[in-house]
Amino acid sequence: MFFQSFRNAVCGTAVSFLLLVSAHAQDVSINFIANGSLRITDGEYVLFTDFPYVSAAFGTMAYTYPYFVEDGEKTITLITNRMDDHFDPATFMTLDWKIVAPAEVVGDLQERYFAANQARDLVVAELERNRILDQAQNPDTQVNVVLPDPIIEPNTVVVEENLVVGPMHIQAIETKSGETEHYSYIVEWHGKKMYFSGDTGDTAHLINLPETDVAFLSPWLYENARKENVLPNTKNLVIYQHRDGEIIPRCTNCFVPQKGQLIPID
């Protein structure tokens, strides 16, 4: 199967890279992957944001990191919306991660799962018919067939206002972004409070944000919030969803990470 071969091929590369970003237990570290995607870990659990997405979708950053070999049992990915630059359903169908996402995203994955299972059932039925015919023509020979691999059922959770996943407390904030169902999030984990804006440019919710250890804002939300004087109260302000080499005007206190870069948290 293509994706299984892919996973095996990148495993060695992933292990080497992950050694560089591993964290001690109870100590949360954050690496920027690309676009709105982050890898956050305490050395045991791993939380991704908006990952995997369709690499370079809509002109966003391309990525090559082989994170698909993460252990699914303690790997969670937190999705803000269904757009291709935040969510790649085809790749998700090959993973066993826990997916916390809007209902639109969960519904898409469930529909794909049912459709893939129906297609597999048709293939299995055809193989079985052919096996019976072959067996009838060759009664003295045991005829066996190789069935297609089972379809992985997505491990999905529809976002709620408050969720506890492993050691993480996740607060979902419904925010505006085009015509899609969209959520921004606050995640509390081992005493660190992190805010992720996603795609929204709407500043209304920022007024009610608690103080955070780190806040991730898109360039457009940052500019809107700066003009309206409602920037979040945070120890560390990080810009993500930026373009390669993008300059963020009037953002002297912002951290603008490069792909793969460790993001310091005070």
What digits encode the pLDDT tens for the residues 58-116? 999 999 866 667 878 899 999 999 999 999 999 999 888 999 999 999 999 999 999 99
Q: Is residue 60 part of a domain?
A: yes
- Distance between CA 109 and CA 105 in Å, rounded? 6
Phi, psi angle pair for 224, to nearest 5°: -60, -45
- Distance between CA 36 and CA 60 in Å, rounded? 10
Residue 184's CB is within 10 A of a number of other CB atoms, namely: 25
Q: Is residue 62 part of a domain?
A: yes
Q: Is 213 helix (H, G, I), strand (E, B) or coil?
A: coil
pLDDT, the chain, mean: 89
Q: Is residue 115 part of a domain?
A: no
Question: Total domain count for the chain?
Answer: 1
- Distance between CA 64 and CA 56 in Å, rounded? 11
Given a contact cutoff of 8 angstroms between Cβ atoms, the answer to whether 175 and 195 are in contact is no
Domain that includes residue 35, residue range: 2-109+151-242+257-263
Q: Is residue 125 part of a domain?
A: no
Q: Is residue 131 part of a domain?
A: no
Question: What's the pLDDT tens digit per position in 165-191?
Answer: 999 999 999 999 998 999 999 999 999
Q: Is residue 88 part of a domain?
A: yes
pLDDT number for residue 66: 66
Single pTM value for the model: 0.86
Question: What's the pLDDT tens digit per position in 179-227?
Answer: 899 999 999 999 999 999 999 999 999 999 999 999 999 999 999 999 9
Task: Please give the torsion angle defined by the CA atoms of residues 206, 188, 94 and 25, in that order, rounded to the nearest 10 degrees.
Answer: 150
Q: Is residue 142 part of a domain?
A: no
Q: Give percent above pLDDT 90 in the chain.
A: 80
How far from 78 is each of 11, 15, 193, CA to CA, in Å?
Answer: 23, 23, 15
Q: Is residue 133 part of a domain?
A: no
- Distance between CA 82 and CA 102 in Å, rounded? 8
pLDDT number for residue 27: 87
CATH number, domain containing residue 228: 3.60.15.10
Closest C-alpha among 207, 263, 204, 203 to residue 237? 263
Mean pLDDT of 245-263: 93
Burial profile 2-33: b = 16 or more Cβ within 10 angstroms, e = fewer: eeeeebeebeeebeeebeeeebeeeebbbbbb
Helical H segments across the chain, by residue range: 2-21, 89-92, 103-137, 219-228
pLDDT number for residue 16: 39
